[in-house]
Amino acid sequence: MQTRFSRRRRPGFTFVEVMVSSAICVLCMSIMIQLWAFSTFFTVQTSDNAVACDLARQTIETLKETGFSQTPEAPSTAPLVHYYTLNTVNVDNTPSAARYKVTTTVVSDALVAGSNPATPAPNALRLVTTKVTLVSTGAVLSTLTTYFARNGI
Amino acid sequence: MLNVLIFLVIMSTLLAGMAQLMVSDYSVGKVEANYSISLATAEAGVNYELRKISNDGTLGDQKQSAGTGGTTYTTAAGTCSVYVTQHNQDGTETTPWAPGKSLWIYSTGNYNGVSRTVKVAAAPYSTITPSNYAVFGVVSGTVIGSSAVVTGDMGTDGYFNFNGHPTVNGSVVFNGTTSNWLSPPSGTYSTVHNTSAVNWPSVETLAVAAFGSQGLNYVATNNDNALCGNDIKNNVVTTSGNNGMTFYGKPGGANYYLTSLSCGGNAPILFDNRTGPITIWVGPSGASSTFQLRGGTANVKMTTDPTKPVKVYIANINDVVITGSIELDAGIYNVNNAGKGNVVFSGSSQDIFGTIICNTFSFNGSPNIGSVQGYFSPLGTVSSYGCVPPWYEVGGVN
């Protein structure tokens, strides 16, 4: 027997189904966002490391070009400091615009006695250390070290 | 619902792939940094070795007899293993390296498991005070009469004997503790006494340096004599009357080899060095053949273009005679192991624009010798070692 108010099944989602699916969606979206953030972080990190490595290498090559005796002594108390943007443009005049800071020390194991400014002795071994840091955080991105000797490469 | 889930799974997979790509990219960046640091460390090893052997050549890190390992040094970034081998003039590579010789330096930089090896050529550097010698007699020098005019320094490791009063517009330089006048000259000269003798290499030594271990024997069969056509026959030049001859230069330098040269009559010698320098080698070492030169005018004088010099190296022990009233635009080098290279000036009104380096010399005329620097250099004391081309990365892409 049919009554006037008999319930008729219609297609659709129950409230519980909607809630479960929403929860799954939120979970998946959360994972996706985290993956996106993770990818972005590593992309930036990779870019910074690559640029830092290039800047360190460039600094060493520039000092080689300057030459053994013409490269000034630069102890850790008075290092050579340069600033660069993300595109490796030198911005020593406006360090606030820099993304990278390149700090270079040049320390000789023998100096010409009484020289001022300090001049490396002809037989000196000069330890050159270049450190590239991120200006915003101070994190060290790259450290490159080599020796200079008279008539060396 | 199912479609949404499939979409999310696909998106998640793609993003996971991208993340993995980023991590890989990051790893590659780190490895590249390691490679860069390894190279810097390898080059640090080269410079460390250069400094070490410059301080004391006997301390060079020789290649181990077994294996290729060298001495390992720890730097502020990584370690480097270094050894040296001898880089011979003929291009061969031998062990052990003898101090004072050219060398190869091998250095392997190690950092974070990455190794890079460089092979760098190095050579000794000498400290030689540039000389202004117009004429130098290693054993002795004799000047007869007062007509000779020397502009520049006269030097010797032995003695000078002036039987007259020649003009010296420069200094008379005695090198070595026993070097001095044979007897006091009649005139007054500006004299310099150096404690150390000047070490001029023999012609054969210079030939070995230029052509490898065969020295003069090499240039005897590998030369540019053909540039002179029939003027050089069987390595002999003989001129007479007014029929002179011309030596021709070429880009990179022309090397001639003669066993004898005899200029008779008024036959002039010319040097056409417009296209390049000219070097004449006279051998073999210790031979007793004739070398009699009657002038030699160069198209391009050394003072005009120092890249096109005319040099004559004579290894004979007989007298080298510069005769006639001539002009000579050349450097004459006559130092041999027998100590008998004697250059004789027998003409009058000779104008020499060059440098004469010989075992002994004798002025018996009125040469006017004007020093021109840059022709010859003595051996110096090795003061340091430095890099020279080439530079290789062993196993790398250069």
- Asked whether B398 and B353 are in contact (CB, 8 A), the reply is no
**Cα torsion angle, B364, B370, B372, B377, sign:** positive
Cα separation, B287 vs B257, in Å, equals 14
Residue B235 has pLDDT above 80, yes or no: yes
Every domain of chain A and the residues it spans: 15-148
User: What's the rounded mean pLDDT across residues A102-113?
Assistant: 92
Residue B216 has pLDDT above 80, yes or no: yes
Do both B194 and B255 map to the same domain? yes
Does a structural domain hold residue B15? no
| Residue B58 token pair | 């006997």
Contacts of B360 by beta carbon, 8 Å cutoff, 6+ apart: B137, B138, B139, B140, B141, B142, B340, B341, B342, B343
Partners of A46 on chain B (C-beta within 8 Å) are 22, 25-26, 28-29
- Asked whether B157 and B197 are in contact (CB, 8 A), the reply is yes
Q: What single string gives the DSSP state of each residue in B151-183? A: ESEEEESSEEEEES--EEESEEEEESTT-EESS
- The answer to ipTM > 0.85 is no
Does a structural domain hold residue B5? no
Rounded to whole angstroms, what are the CA distances from B95 to B16, B47, B108, B387? 56, 20, 19, 19
* Residue positions counted in chain A: 153
Note which residues in 20-49 of chain A have CB less than 8 A from chain B: 21, 24-25, 28-29, 31-32, 35-36, 38-39, 42-43, 45-46, 49
pLDDT, tens only, A131-149: 999 999 999 999 999 999 9
pLDDT at residue B396 in the model: 65
Cα separation, B361 vs B140, in Å, equals 7
Beta strands in B50-170 (DSSP E): 71-74, 79-87, 93-94, 103-111, 114-127, 133-144, 149-151, 153-156, 159-163, 167-169
Do both B203 and B259 map to the same domain? yes
Do both B73 and B193 map to the same domain? no
| Residue A26 token pair | 């939120």
User: What's the rounded mean pLDDT across residues A66-86?
Assistant: 93
Secondary structure of residue B219 in the 3-state scheme: helix
pLDDT, tens only, A27-37: 878 887 887 88
Of B51, B41, B386, B43, nearest in space to A125 by CA = B51
pLDDT-derived band at B236, boundaries 50, 70, 90: very high
Note which residues in 98-127 of chain A have CB less than 8 A from chain B: 122-125, 127
Using the beta-carbon criterion (under 8 Å), do A152 and B47 form an inter-chain contact?
Answer: yes
Q: Shortest Cα distance from B112 to chain A (angstroms)?
A: 13
Residue A4 has pLDDT above 70, yes or no: no
Secondary structure of residue B297 in the 3-state scheme: strand
How many CA atoms, within 13 angstroms, populate the side-chain half-sphere of residue B371? Answer: 21
Identify residue B390 by its one-letter amino acid code: P
Secondary structure of residue B302 in the 3-state scheme: coil
pLDDT, tens only, B239-295: 888 878 999 999 888 999 999 998 877 878 899 999 999 999 998 988 888 888 888
| Residue B92 token pair | 């061969």
Q: Shortest Cα distance from B196 to chain A (angstroms)?
A: 23
pLDDT at residue B330 in the model: 92
Partners of B47 on chain A (C-beta within 8 Å) are 125, 146-149, 152-153
Do both B158 and B91 map to the same domain? no
Residue B70 has pLDDT above 80, yes or no: no
pLDDT at residue B224 in the model: 94
B67-71, B96-100, B278-282, B351-355: the lowest-pLDDT one? B67-71
pLDDT-derived band at B129, boundaries 50, 70, 90: low
Do both B220 and B351 map to the same domain? yes
Does a structural domain hold residue B123? yes
| Residue among A39, A144, A152 whose CB faces B50 most closely | A152
Nearest chain B residue to A110 by CA distance is B51
pLDDT-derived band at B398, boundaries 50, 70, 90: very low
Q: Where does residue A120 rank: exposed (0-12), middle (13-18), buried (19+ CB within 10 A)?
A: buried
Using the beta-carbon criterion (under 8 Å), do A144 and B36 form an inter-chain contact?
Answer: yes
Does a structural domain hold residue B252? yes
Partners of A123 on chain B (C-beta within 8 Å) are 51, 54-55, 384
- Asked whether B355 and B367 are in contact (CB, 8 A), the reply is no
Size of interface A-B (CB pairs under 8 A): 128
**Share above pLDDT 90 across residues of chain B, in percent, rounded to a whole number:** 34
- Pairing of the two strands B103-111 and B79-87: antiparallel
pLDDT-derived band at B16, boundaries 50, 70, 90: confident
Q: Shortest Cα distance from B203 to chain A (angstroms)?
A: 29
Do both B105 and B215 map to the same domain? no
pLDDT-derived band at A3, boundaries 50, 70, 90: low
Mean pLDDT of chain B, nearest integer:
86
Residue B232 has pLDDT above 80, yes or no: yes
Quick check: bond before A117 cis, omega within 30? yes
User: What's the rounded mean pLDDT across residues B335-346?
Assistant: 79
Partners of B5 on chain A (C-beta within 8 Å) are 21, 24
A7-11, A49-53, B47-51, B347-351: the lowest-pLDDT one? A7-11
Query: Would the pTM count as exceeding 0.80?
Result: no
Do both B118 and B177 map to the same domain? no
pLDDT at residue B7 in the model: 77
| Residue among B9, B12, B386 whose CB faces A152 most closely | B386
| Residue A58 token pair | 């460039």
What range defines the domain where residue B225 resides? 133-371
Do both B359 and B266 map to the same domain? yes
Residue A39 has pLDDT above 70, yes or no: yes
Does a structural domain hold residue B24? no
**Cα torsion angle, B297, B298, B300, B306, sign:** negative
Do both B224 and B362 map to the same domain? yes
The DSSP code for B226 is G
Note which residues in 37-76 of chain B have CB less than 8 A from chain A: 37, 40-41, 43-48, 50-51, 54-55, 75-76
Run of H or E including B40: helix B2-55
Q: What single string gives the DSSP state of each residue in chain A? A: ---TT-----S---HHHHHHHHHHHHHHHHHHHHHHHHHHHHHHHHHHHHHHHHHHHHHHHHHHHH-TTTSPPB-TTS-EEEEE-TT--B-TT-GGG-SEEEEEEEEES-B-TT-SS--B-TT--EEEEEEEEETTT--EEEEEEEEE-TT--
Cα separation, B90 vs B262, in Å, equals 33
Do both B289 and B223 map to the same domain? yes
pLDDT, tens only, A57-67: 999 999 988 88
Note which residues in 283-302 of chain B have CB less than 8 A from chain A: none
Does a structural domain hold residue B25? no
Using the beta-carbon criterion (under 8 Å), do A145 and B76 form an inter-chain contact?
Answer: yes
pLDDT, tens only, B313-322: 999 888 888 8
Partners of A127 on chain B (C-beta within 8 Å) are 76
Partners of B109 on chain A (C-beta within 8 Å) are none
pLDDT at residue B286 in the model: 83
- Asked whether B360 and B140 are in contact (CB, 8 A), the reply is yes
Using the beta-carbon criterion (under 8 Å), do B47 and A149 form an inter-chain contact?
Answer: yes
pLDDT, tens only, B357-394: 999 998 877 788 888 877 887 776 666 888 888 888 88
Partners of A35 on chain B (C-beta within 8 Å) are 12, 15-16, 18-19
Residue A125 has pLDDT above 60, yes or no: yes
Using the beta-carbon criterion (under 8 Å), do A152 and B51 form an inter-chain contact?
Answer: yes
Cα separation, B220 vs B255, in Å, equals 10
Q: Shortest Cα distance from A30 to chain B (angstroms)?
A: 10
CA–centroid distance for B378 within its chain: 10
Nearest chain B residue to A58 by CA distance is B36
Greater confidence (A43 vs B168) lies with B168
Using the beta-carbon criterion (under 8 Å), do B40 and A150 form an inter-chain contact?
Answer: no
Do both B246 and B311 map to the same domain? yes
Does a structural domain hold residue B344? yes
Does a structural domain hold residue B13? no
Partners of B75 on chain A (C-beta within 8 Å) are 145-147
Cα separation, B136 vs B132, in Å, equals 10
Contacts of B71 by beta carbon, 8 Å cutoff, 6+ apart: B61, B81, B82, B83
Number of domains in chain B: 2
- Asked whether B334 and B342 are in contact (CB, 8 A), the reply is yes
